[in-house]
Amino acid sequence: MYIIKLDAIDSTNSYLKALTSANLPKDFTVVVANRQTEGRGQMGTTWQAQDGKNLTASVFKEVGSVEIDKQFYISMVVALSICKGLERLKIPQLTIKWPNDILSANKKICGTLIENIIKQNQLKGSIIGFGLNVNQKYFEGLPNASSMSLLTGAVYNKDEVLSAILNELKTYFKFLEVKNYAEIKSEYETLLFRKDKPSTFKIGNGSTFSGIIKGVTDTGKLSVWTEDDIIKTFDLKEVSLLY
C-alpha cells in the first residue's frame, strides 16, 4: 500500500484522477489530505469539512475483474468496508443511506464519491473518495450531520481510523474479486437505511410519494414498493429519500 499525505489539496479524487491520466497507479494507492478546498460529493455537491478534524481520502483500486454491468458492487463494497471499519471502532447504529452515505444513529457521518475508469468498455480502476466526520463538533446548517466524536464522546486518531477502513476494503474487495455477489448484496441490503419501513421520497419535479424500500438491483437502482402495490425501481437522478 502506497500512502500519499498532503497538507492541502483541491480534491483527493481529482489528485488521483490526474495520476491516472498517464498510467494507472499501483493498486491501493491512497491519498490523504489534511484540508480539501474543493471536496466533491455525489451529484456535484460539495463536502464541508473543518480543517484537520476529519478524514478526507481517496483510494485507487484496480478492478479489472469486475464486469462493467456489476460496477455498483464496487459502491456496495466501499459502503460495507466503511461500516465494518467503523463498527470495529464501536460507532453505534450504522446504516447505509442509498446509495452509499454512511449514517450513525440516523445522522450522516460519511459521504463517498466513486469514479470508475473505463477503457474500451472495460473497467480498469476505481477512484474511491470518502469524507468521514471524525472529530468535528459543529455542523452549521446541517441538522442531519454528525461525527464519530459527537456520537461517542471520544477523540479519534485519524490514522487509526483510516487503517481500520483500508483493512476492510482489502477484505471486501477480495469477496468482489471472487464474484461473491450474492453475499455482498445481501449484506448491503441488510444495512440499508429505512429498509422495509414506510418512507417518503421526492422525485425530480419536487412532488413526493410514499413507499417501502425493498432492496437494490444489480445496477444500483433502488427497489421501492409503492402505494399502488407494485415494486418500482429508481436511479439516483430520479428519486431521493427524505429523512
The pLDDT > 70 percentage for the chain reads: 94
CA distances from 228 to 210, 211, 213, 224 (A): 10, 9, 14, 11
From CA 134, how far away is CA 156, in angstroms rounded? 7
Query: Which helix H or strand E contains 215, and what residues bound it?
Result: strand 208-216
170 CB contacts (<8 Å, ≥6 apart)?
A: 28
What average pLDDT does range 12-41 have in this prediction? 86
For residue 39, the model assigns a pLDDT of 57
Tens digits of residue pLDDT in 79-128: 999 999 999 999 999 999 999 999 999 999 999 999 999 999 999 999 99
The pLDDT > 90 percentage for the chain reads: 82
CA atoms within 13 A on the CB side of 53: 17
Check: pTM over 0.75? Answer yes or no: yes
For residue 21, the model assigns a pLDDT of 84
- Write down all domains in the chain, each with its CATH number in brackets: 2-190 (3.30.930.10), 198-241 (2.30.30)
* The pLDDT of residue 218 is above 80: yes
Instruction: Using alpha carbons, select from 166, 131, 162 the residue that is nearest to residue 147.
Output: 131
Q: Are 29 and 61 in contact (CB under 8 A)?
A: no
Location of C-alpha cell 440516523: 106
Tens digits of residue pLDDT in 32-58: 998 887 655 554 555 455 678 999 999
